[in-house]
Structures are given as C-alpha cells and as structure tokens.
C-alpha cells in the first residue's frame, strides 16, 4: 500500500467506495488520517470495513464523528443524518472510521474531499458544498502525487487520451517487465494505485489517466506524459468539447518542462496542444498519423490505431532508456487486452473478435479498419447520434447487426450503405452473424456505444459475447 506521512493528523471526506474509493480509505487510514466515508450503496459501505485495521467503524453521529459506534448494520443506518447530528468539527486522527454523506455534513475543517472519478462534479451538489466550505476536491491520483517524495526513487509515466489508453499502458508495462525494470500499473485501467505495493528504487509507475482523474489532480509531475488522441466523449461532464480537451492538456501543465511529453497529432486538438509545447524542443515527441510500420510480427497489435499505440509505447520506453532489443521482444510477445479487439475463437475459418471496450464510434473505427470482411455487431446506449467516424470503413462491412437502444437509429443510418438487420439483442446478433459468415470473415462485436442499456458494463457485454460464441456448434 502507498501512503504519505503528510496525511497523518489530517481529516478527509471520501465520496464513492468502489475500487479506487475503497483503496483510498484504506491508504488514508494507514497513513494516520481520519476518514469520513460515504457511498449511497450500503453494500459498499459494509464491504469497506474488513481490512481497514482501524478498529470499529461508526456512523457519523453527534459531534461530527465523535459519537459512539452505531450498533445497527450499516445497511440499516439512516442515509442522511439530521442537521442536528452533523454539527461540529471533523473527526480527529486516530478515531474510528466514520460514515456520513458529505452533502449533509459541515465540510469546514476537512483537509480535502476525495471523490471517485465517477462523481460528476459539474452537476453533483457536493462540489458546491465543498467549494462553499473552502475545501479542495481531489482524487486518488493526487494523493499518490503527495506520497511520491516518501517512496524509493522512481519515475512515473502518465497516459491519457480518448482511445487506446489501456492498451498503451499495458504495452508500456510489458516492455518494462521484459527489460527487467520493476513497474506497476494503476489508475483508470482498474487498478487503484494507492493499494499497490511500493516499487523498489528505479521502478516505474505506469498510470492510465482519464480526464476525470486529471480534473481531480493538482500536482502530478509525470517523468513521461503521453496524449494519444482527443475525440468527442464524456461531453455530459464538460462545458463543450474545448473544455474536455483542456482537461487533457492539464497533464502537461502539471509537468516540469524538462520532462518528456509524447503527443499523437492525428487530431486538431492534440496537435494544438503539441504546438503549445513546442518550446520544450527535444523533450517533445510528436507521433504523426499514418506512419507506415511492419506490424506483421506483432499479432496483438494490428490495425492503424495499434500502430499509434505501439509508437507511443516505443517512445516512452526510449525516453526511459530501455534497450531496443527489449522493446522489439516485448512488441512481439504482447498478448493484448480482454475486450479490445480480442480474438476469442476461430470456427470453420471465421474469426470472432470481442471489441466490447469500443464504446464510441471513434474507438470502433480502428477495428473496422483492421479487418477485411466484417459481420459487425453494434449498438447499445449511444454516446453520439451518428456513425461518421466509422463511415470510411463501411466498405469492409459485409453485414451489420444492430442491438440495444441505439439499434433502430443505427439501422436507419446504415440503411442503403451496408446490409443491415435489427437483431435487438446480442445472442440473436451472434447467431445471425454466424449463419452468414464465410471462411475468412470476421464477426466483430465493436458496439460504438456504452453498454448500460442491456449489460452491467462493457466487460459484462464482452463476457456474454464470449459465451454466445462458445455455444456455437
């Protein structure tokens, strides 16, 4: 676990107790801080107790956390304590972990409000509550930045971008491991960095950073910072596309000018950010689109988008001084990630590819470009009302099968451009595609949509695709 001596004696409110939030609570407690935590899901509140190592947890009662432990199960505890129960200072370090909704308590006196990246600060009332109390709003990546001076000497690689982040950080980590460099993955890839064991001297922390995480970070000075691309996404969280792009650019604003910046310049916003960093000279590397590369020896890095991901990872490795031989070996042995152009089966000459992570048209387009004859399964909860980003590759589509809420709209868009049928659900689409596919074809799940209309998340969608394909005879 990564902790900082700076936290000792301080008080933090933590909102959101999923993976990163739970790890944050445990790290803060281990660092000697007092924590008032909350999640609207009672199950998550209950689950955070094992392993905290800080005695009995209590529901925040009179005195802002200084009351006696609550005897009832947390699931039965009131969601909103009365105003009379929440007056007073925050808990002191050394007191039990307390639970209270930060919307209902006086945040004055807390050192920070730590929120999970999923909390929409542009519309969640807790943001105004914290600002009114003069309390900074941060995330777990900022806490990691605070902990860095106490860690053995190391370097940090931060990777952001709309698409390709997970593949790129995983490839960077694989290159470092191949070269014998101690490394640790963390961040948006689903591995909370605070719960990772500290690396020995000379290690490299490789962080996947979403715009939400960057928004909650103030002092992360990456030794190598990477921006892959910027395309419209998450616009419900920002005041327009320019604000979303500005969030990505903050990764470089936090960085020392002498540290390495690597930027893909295949889109206008990213190219503008690169131009703004031109004074860095040799410390700035630009990755141009359409670079001709021999990817034939990299079985898990096919398609033009993976060429960019590979170039970014190579540039990072070179900036860190990794030998070229280790880089070459790692590119060949990299096995790729689940749900990202993952070949799950070849049946009677037909390849079945799980690209469930493609949750917008821009991330689906590279998959369409990577294969010849495609039976394309798409649809879900749409993030965009068009498929314009995919249109240049419609010639690869033998037939499309639409599912979910966006199914009728996408079928309408595709009508007259590619053969299309409305399958409605994933199992129906897989069965129909299997009937129509010929040897040499690919059945591709690349939905260009979020999954939340019919599935728990993109991983659930990908797993259901795998099961449907496995049942084909």
Whole-angstrom Cα distance, residue 462 to residue 129?
39
List C-alpha distances in Å: 306 to 228, 233, 269, 310, 369.
11, 20, 20, 6, 11
Task: Give SS3 for 122.
Answer: coil
Long-range contacts of 287-292 (CB under 8 A, 24+ apart): 287/262, 287/263, 287/311, 287/312, 287/315, 289/264, 289/265, 290/266
- Evaluate whether 157 touches 304 at the Cβ level (below 8 Å): no
DSSP state of 176: H
The enclosing H or E element of 252 equals: helix 241-253
User: For 74-203, where are the alpha helices, taking DSSP H only?
Assistant: 125-132, 140-147, 165-178
| DSSP E strands, 210-302 | 224-227, 260-264, 284-287
Give dist(CA 354, CA 339) in Å, integer: 5
Strand 350-354 and strand 342-347: pairing?
antiparallel
Q: d(Cα 287, Cα 309) in Å, to the nearest integer?
A: 10
Going across the sheet that includes 11-15, the strands are: 58-59, 98-99, 34-38, 11-15, 112-115, 137-138
Which ranges in 334-392 belong to alpha helices (H)? 361-370
Between the alpha carbon of residue 217 and those of residues 228, 300, 381, the distances in Å are: 19, 33, 29
Bridge partners of 59, per DSSP, are 99
**CB–CB of 176/326 below 8 Å?**
no
Rounded-to-integer distance, Cα 298 and Cα 339, Å: 18
What does the alpha-carbon distance between residue 407 and residue 462 come to, in Å, rounded to a whole number?
18
Cα three-residue angle 365-368-373, rounded to 5 degrees: 165
Q: Which of 25, 37, 31, 22 is nearest to 2 (CA)?
A: 31
C-alpha span between 282 and 300 (Å, rounded): 31
What is the Cα–Cα distance from 187 to 169, expressed in whole angstroms?
Answer: 10
- Active site members: 165, 188, 234
Closest CA to 1 of 185, 198, 283: 198
């Amino acid at each position: 676990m990564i902790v900082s001596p700076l936290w000792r004696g301080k008080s933090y409110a933590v909102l959101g107790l999923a993976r990163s939030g739970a790890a944050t609570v445990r790290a803060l407690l281990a660092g000697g801080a007092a924590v008032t935590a909350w999640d609207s899901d009672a199950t998550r509140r209950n689950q955070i107790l094992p392993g905290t190592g800080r005695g009995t947890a209590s529901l925040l009662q009179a005195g802002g956390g200084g009351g006696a432990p609550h005897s009832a199960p947390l699931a039965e505890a009131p969601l909103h304590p009365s105003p009379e129960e929440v007056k007073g200072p925050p808990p002191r370090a050394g007191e039990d972990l307390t639970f209270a909704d930060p919307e209902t308590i006086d945040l004055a006196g807390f050192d920070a409000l730590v929120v999970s990246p999923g909390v929409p600060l542009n519309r969640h009332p807790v943001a105004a509550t914290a600002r009114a109390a003069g309390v900074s709003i941060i995330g777990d990546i900022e806490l990691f930045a605070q902990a860095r001076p106490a860690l053995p000497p190391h370097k940090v690689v931060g990777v952001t971008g709309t698409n390709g982040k997970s593949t790129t950080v995983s490839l960077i980590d694989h290159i470092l491991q191949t070269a014998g460099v101690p490394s640790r993955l963390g961040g948006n890839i689903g591995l909370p960095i605070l719960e990772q064991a500290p690396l020995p001297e000379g290690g490299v922390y490789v962080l996947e950073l979403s715009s939400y995480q960057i928004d909650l970070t103030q002092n992360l000075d990456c030794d190598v910072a990477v921006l892959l691309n910027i395309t419209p996404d998450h616009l419900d969280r920002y005041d327009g596309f320019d604000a979303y792009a500005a969030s990505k650019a903050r990764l470089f604003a936090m960085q020392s000018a002498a540290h390495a910046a690597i930027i893909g310049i295949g889109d206008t916003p990213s190219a503008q950010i690169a131009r703004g960093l031109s004074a860095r000279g040799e410390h700035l590397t630009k990755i141009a689109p359409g670079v001709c590369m021999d990817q034939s020896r990299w079985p898990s890095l096919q398609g033009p988008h993976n060429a960019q991901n590979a170039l970014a990872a190579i540039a990072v490795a070179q900036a860190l001084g990794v030998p070229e031989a280790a880089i070459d070996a790692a590119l060949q042995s990299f096995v790729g990630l689940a749900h990202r152009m993952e070949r799950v089966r070849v049946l009677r000459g037909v390849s079945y590819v799980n690209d469930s992570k493609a949750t917008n048209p821009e991330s689906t387009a590279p998959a369409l470009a990577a294969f010849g004859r495609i039976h394309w399964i798409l649809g879900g909860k749409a993030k965009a009302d068009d498929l314009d980003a995919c249109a240049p590759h419609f010639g690869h589509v033998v037939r499309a099968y639409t599912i979910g809420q966006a199914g009728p709209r996408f079928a309408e868009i595709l009508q007259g451009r590619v053969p299309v049928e409305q399958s409605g659900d994933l199992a129906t689409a897989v069965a129909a595609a299997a009937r129509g596919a010929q040897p040499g074809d690919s059945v591709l799940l690349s939905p260009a949509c979020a999954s939340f209309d019919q599935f728990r998340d993109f991983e659930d969608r990908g797993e259901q695709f795998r099961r449907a394909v496995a049942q084909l005879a």
